[in-house]
Amino acid sequence: MTYIPISPHERDDMLKTIGVKSLDDLFDVVPAKYRFPKLDLPRALTEMEAYAELSELAQANENVRGDLISFLGAGMYNHYIPSVIDHMLRRGEFYTAYTPYQPEISQGTLQAIFEYQSLMSALTGMDVSNASHYDGATATAEAVSLAYAQFRGKRKKVVISPTVHPQYRAVIRTYTQGMEIEVAGDDQSLISNLQSLISEETSLVIVQYPDFFGRVHDYTKLIEDAHAKGALVCVVANPTALAMFKTPASMGADIVVGDGQPLGIPMWYGGPSVGFFTTRKQYVHKMAGRLVGETIDNRGQRAYVLTLTAREQHIKRERATSNICTNQGLLALATAVYLSTLGKNGLRQVAELCYQKAHYAASELSQVRGYRLTHSEPFFHEFTLTCPKPVAEINAQLLEHGILGGYDLSQDYPSRKNQMLVAVTEMNTKEEIDALVQALWEVNHG
């Protein structure tokens, strides 16, 4: 099956206009010995067969909306997505549109992105947001580039808290391989040690909020100390938590980034989601990625365009701060529709439901023999549970009860053996939480 709408008769007419005899004649320039390889691929499927095959693959998974009860988060969360969002994403006018380089016929995308930028500014408390990055990890890595550019490469140290998501830290290390940047701090185990690493050499300090273990810290003092040394501070934030907890902006953060997946995007086995990037107005010229600004058209109508494009790679080429070209346009739209639909009160309700259910779960789980909460600090919807035996063993047994257990922290933090990171969202009913507690009692006996 192909989607080629040209009849054999039309094809022959066109070949005649071109002045060649056959389709194959169009490729004489290709070296003959490599021309027209026989590709070893399965025969073409019809739409009906393709649907059946894809259904079979999808059903070979165990999903968290029916097959499994999930307490797994660690950077990607199972939240409810109101129907209106996907109805909007399925509009061909949005999903089959190109990048809005022609503003006269792209105002839909442009205004939607402008609203996304506005909504993300409102949520983080920051002045400006760009049109998005690939995900939270790459947005964080771009913060490193911003700070590096801000100090014209003169400050070569980046201090990263060990409580930033391990995969985000890994991405930063990959991104900075070719730069003269020294990454420090993520081998330290205590947040209080972070201050001692910050010096006049530091361009950027990165912390996570809530941190990877679920704890909510007030970073005001840390940010003051970093600013005293002239460094910038980037806070990696969970956007749902921001509906309830004070904004990183109010703590003095210079850059607030994160993954927008919790805001109306399915987990989709890891992507695509959207990386949000917000900062203060004075850094806007150093910020990577597309940016939509308000203007007026020649008929006096309010309109929107991609602006400050001179920062970007297609103009600046090798002198650009970043090579980023695409944003996550469609998913930024999803986020905008989600934040609009939930609105001021709905998002706060979701956050409070997460908070209430997570605290109920924490309280119940810590009463199971051998289990206790690892930390005493305030937390949002994720917390660390110290278990009586390796998490991998417990999770294998939970799976037999149809439960997807929390994240095994020993994978990234060898000293945290037997520690499980448990996530609870508004999707988890009391019944499910009680089932987890019950299952752990049974694991104890089994």
Looking at residues 100 to 139 of the shown chain, list those that interact with another protein (rule: CB under 8 A): 100, 102-109, 111-115, 117-119, 121-123, 125-129, 131-132, 134-138
Our CB check for another protein shows the closer of 194 and 333 to be: 333
The answer to whether 445 contacts another protein (rule: CB under 8 A) is: no
Our CB check for another protein shows the closer of 34 and 369 to be: 34
The answer to whether 284 contacts another protein (rule: CB under 8 A) is: yes
- At a CB cut-off of 8 Å and minimum separation 6, what does 264 contact? 79, 81, 82, 85, 334, 335, 337, 338, 339
The upper half-sphere exposure of residue 253, i.e. CA atoms within 13 Å in the direction of its Cβ, equals: 29
The answer to whether 17 contacts another protein (rule: CB under 8 A) is: yes
Our CB check for another protein shows the closer of 198 and 288 to be: 288
Per-residue x/- track, 19-58, another protein (CB under 8 A): xx--xx-xxxxxx--xxxxxxxxxxxxxx--xx-xxxxxx
Our CB check for another protein shows the closer of 196 and 296 to be: 296
Our CB check for another protein shows the closer of 91 and 372 to be: 91
Q: Are strands 157-160 and 202-209 parallel, antiparallel or unpaired?
A: parallel
The residue type of 427 is: M
CB of 358 to another protein, least distance (A): 9
Binders of another protein among 250-279, rule CB under 8 A? 250, 259, 266-272
C-alpha distances in Å from residue 2, one per residue of 45, 47, 90, 92: 10, 10, 22, 20
CB of 325 to another protein, least distance (A): 4
Asked if residues 138 and 274 have their Cβ atoms less than 8 Å apart, the reply is: no
CB of 193 to another protein, least distance (A): 22
The residue type of 155 is: R
Asked if residues 163 and 213 have their Cβ atoms less than 8 Å apart, the reply is: yes
Our CB check for another protein shows the closer of 85 and 198 to be: 85
Per-residue x/- track, 327-356, another protein (CB under 8 A): xxxxx-x--xx-xxxxxxxxxxxx-xx-xx
DSSP string, 322-384: -------HHHHHHHHHHHHHHHHHHHHHHHHHHHHHHHHHHHHHTTSTT-EES--S-BSSEEE
Both structure tokens of 392: 């991998």
d(CA 379, CA 11): 65
The answer to whether 298 contacts another protein (rule: CB under 8 A) is: yes
Size of the site for another protein (CB under 8 A): 212
The answer to whether 317 contacts another protein (rule: CB under 8 A) is: yes
The answer to whether 374 contacts another protein (rule: CB under 8 A) is: no
d(CA 428, CA 262): 15
Binders of another protein among 138-157, rule CB under 8 A? 138, 145
**8: preceding bond cis by omega (within 30 degrees):** no
Closest CA to 219 of 239, 235, 240: 235
d(CA 407, CA 403): 12
Binders of another protein among 61-90, rule CB under 8 A? 61-68, 70, 72, 74-76, 78, 80, 82, 84, 86-88, 90
d(CA 75, CA 90): 26
Among 308, 372, 400, 441, binds another protein (CB under 8 A): 308
The answer to whether 244 contacts another protein (rule: CB under 8 A) is: yes
Our CB check for another protein shows the closer of 58 and 190 to be: 58
The answer to whether 221 contacts another protein (rule: CB under 8 A) is: no
Binders of another protein among 176-215, rule CB under 8 A? 177-180
Among 163, 335, 384, 395, binds another protein (CB under 8 A): 395
